Amino acid sequence: MRQLDVKCLWAVPLGLVLGMAASVPAAAGTVVDAINSRSEIRCGVSQGTPGFSAPDSAGNWKGLDVEICEALAVAMFNDKSKVDWISLQFSQVFPALNSGDIDLINRSILKTVGRDVDMGLEYPGVTYFSGQTFMVPKALNVTKPQQLNGATICVLGGTGTQATLNDYFREKGFTYTPAVFEDQDLMYQAYEQGRCDAVTTEPPILASRRSVFQAPGDHLIMEELISKEIVGPIVKHGDDEWRDLVKVVLWGLVALEEEGITQANAAELRKTATKPEVRRMLGLEGELGKGIGLRTGWLADVAEKVGNYGEIYDRNVGPNTPLGLKRGLNALWKDGGLMISPPFR
């Protein structure tokens, strides 16, 4: 036993050196080159957040975040199946991105200045705007965050959500007992069993989780938000080509909706479009995106195979889904929301 202990010790310096070698990204080859050579995008999704990223009964990943990755695959390969879904716990996502195990994170991680600037991450765009609030059992007779003084609150460890929760109670001079979890599934199970009085995160995620509760009707998602949050995919800092590619696809999805281009009419418009902006978007004029290696007509393919942002939203989280989320801040700018794309020229 002692002999073994001592022998294993050699692993310590060896591990140090190997660990460093693995965590320092290889200089050669960009993310885009790597994706092209394996013909597959490695998309880091959640462990199952219905509406955003969750496998359906047949094991196929479905959701808003999932369709963003599919749109990327269509833009690059004209085939939305060219995605390798990598399901990760929150604490694993940043190490996985840094080590190159995944090309992008697409699982509802909040944008903060610190993450963008100090942590070597880039947020190429926005998939939804939100804020943070609480879900409580209706039996608790609590409807506003201000009534939660002294409560036990379930929260995911190390998240921006945890920091916001903390800021809120500090600002109000309230006390709370945190019940910090590492695993999302376990946290919501524990909440359902009454381990905490409230659970906190953004309303879309709460709605998503509530939709699979045993008695969704027994739980209230508070209307009042305690923060503003911006959510979108995350890529590693320092690879402009890949970041631009993700960025232009996100813009493209919004621009498609702005111009009323849908899955249904895209094929027709590809032949008949006369408006210059639409012709440029669909690849009938100009070569937008060629600079980062996208082929002519990539956005038209995205429109045909995935659809525009509004369609993706409505299909996965909109009013007619179990999540039933209104567009709100996520409507187009011309409808009073915050979604906007620069002109395609």
Partner 1 sequence: MTGQSRGTGQWFSTGKAATVFVVVLASVAAMMWLLFDGVLALDFLVAQANFEVSDTLIRFSSTDANARAIAAGILNVVVVGSFASVLACVFAAGLTLLRLTGQSPLVEMTRAFVDIIRGVPLLLQIVALYFSLLALPPPSSATPVMDCLLLTNRGLYLPMLTISGIECPALAGFRVDGGFRISIEMSALVLGLSVYAAAFLSEILRGAILAVPNGQWDAARALGLKPIRTFFLVILPQALVASIPPATSVFAGVYKNTSLGIAIGYSDLMMISNSIITITGRAFEMMAIVCIAFFIVNYSVNTGLTLFHQRLLKRYG
Whole-number minimum distance, CB 59 to partner 1, in Å?
24
Tell me, rounded to whole angstroms, the distance of Cα 120 from its chain centroid.
Answer: 17
Q: Is 198 helix (H, G, I), strand (E, B) or coil?
A: strand
Whole-number minimum distance, CB 87 to partner 1, in Å?
17
DSSP 295: P
**What phi and psi values does residue 289 have, to the nearest 5 degrees?**
100, -10
Please say which residue, 98 or 330, places its beta carbon nearer to partner 1.
98
* Sign of the C-alpha dihedral computed for residues 35, 50, 257 and 272 taken in this order: positive
Please say which residue, 100 or 178, places its beta carbon nearer to partner 1.
178
Please say which residue, 163 or 212, places its beta carbon nearer to partner 1.
163
Tell me, rounded to whole angstroms, the distance of Cα 312 from its chain centroid.
Answer: 13
Q: Is 238 in the site for partner 1 (CB under 8 A)?
A: no
CA torsion, points 273, 278, 281, 286, in degrees to nearest 10? 80
Q: Is 260 in the site for partner 1 (CB under 8 A)?
A: no
| Among 36-44, 190-198, 199-207, 315-323, the segment contacting partner 1 (CB under 8 A) | 190-198
Q: Is 136 helix (H, G, I), strand (E, B) or coil?
A: strand
| Contact flags string 68-97 toward partner 1, x per CB under 8 A | ----------------------xx--xx--
Q: Is residue 329 within 8 Å of residue 225, measured between CB atoms?
A: no
Please say which residue, 183 or 314, places its beta carbon nearer to partner 1.
183
Please say which residue, 56 or 182, places its beta carbon nearer to partner 1.
182
Please say which residue, 110 or 207, places its beta carbon nearer to partner 1.
110
| Contact flags string 110-149 toward partner 1, x per CB under 8 A | --------xxx----------------------------x
- Residue 157 tokens read as 């460890």
Please say which residue, 18 or 340, places its beta carbon nearer to partner 1.
18
Q: Is 21 in the site for partner 1 (CB under 8 A)?
A: no
Q: Is 195 in the site for partner 1 (CB under 8 A)?
A: yes
- Distance (Å, whole) CA 10 – CA 6: 8
CA torsion, points 111, 116, 119, 121, in degrees to nearest 10? 90
- Residue 270 tokens read as 């590809």
Please say which residue, 59 or 173, places its beta carbon nearer to partner 1.
173
- Distance (Å, whole) CA 50 – CA 65: 10
Q: Which residues make beta-bridge pairs with 236?
A: 121
Q: Which residues make beta-bridge pairs with 84?
A: 42
Please say which residue, 72 or 156, places its beta carbon nearer to partner 1.
156
Q: Give me Rg for the CA atoms of the chain.
A: 22
Whole-number minimum distance, CB 8 to partner 1, in Å?
10
Q: Is 166 in the site for partner 1 (CB under 8 A)?
A: yes
Site size with partner 1, rule: CB under 8 A: 52
Cβ atoms within 10 Å of 295's Cβ, excluding its own: 14
Q: Is 18 in the site for partner 1 (CB under 8 A)?
A: no
Q: Is 100 in the site for partner 1 (CB under 8 A)?
A: no
Binds partner 1 (CB under 8 A): choice among 86, 163, 221, 230: 163
Q: Is 334 in the site for partner 1 (CB under 8 A)?
A: no
The enclosing H or E element of 281 equals helix 276-281
Q: Is residue 127 within 8 Å of residue 233, measured between CB atoms?
A: yes
Binding site for partner 1 (CB under 8 A): 1-3, 5-6, 9-10, 12-13, 15-17, 19-20, 23-24, 90-91, 94-95, 98, 118-120, 149-152, 155, 157-159, 162-163, 165-166, 170, 177-183, 186-187, 189-190, 193-195, 197
